[in-house]
Amino acid sequence: QEEIHFDEIPLTSEEEAGPCAVIVSHGAAINALLSVLSKGEIGSGRTLLRNVCISTVKEFDDGFSICNYDFVEY
C-alpha cells in the first residue's frame, strides 16, 4: 500500500488567531466551489481533483482567494 505524505502549509500569526474551517467533501462539490470562486477559470469542467487532495482558500476583505488546489505529495 502506497503511503501518502502532505507538506505542512504554515499559517501566519494572523491566520492562527483567526477563525478556520476545514471542509471535507466529494470532488464535484469542491470543484463547483473552486469554479465559483475563480469565476470559471478552474473547477468544474476544467479541473480534475485527485483523491485526498488539499485545496486552500483564504478570505480577505474584498472576497476569497484560492491559494492552491489539488495539492498532494506522494
Distance CA 26, CA 9 (A): 22
Residues 24-52 have a mean pLDDT of 89
Render pLDDT for 14-29 as a digit per residue (tens, 0 to 9).
Answer: 777 777 788 888 888 9
pLDDT at 52 over 90: no
- Cell numbers for 19, please give them: 477563525
Distance CA 52, CA 70 (A): 9
Overall pTM > 0.85: no
DSSP codes, the chain: ----B----PPPHHHHHS--------HHHHHHHHHHHTTTSSSTTT--PPTT-EEEEEEETTEEEEEEEEE-B-
* Interior angle at CA 20, CA 62 and CA 63, nearest 5: 10
Render pLDDT for 1-10 as a digit per residue (tens, 0 to 9).
Answer: 566 666 666 7
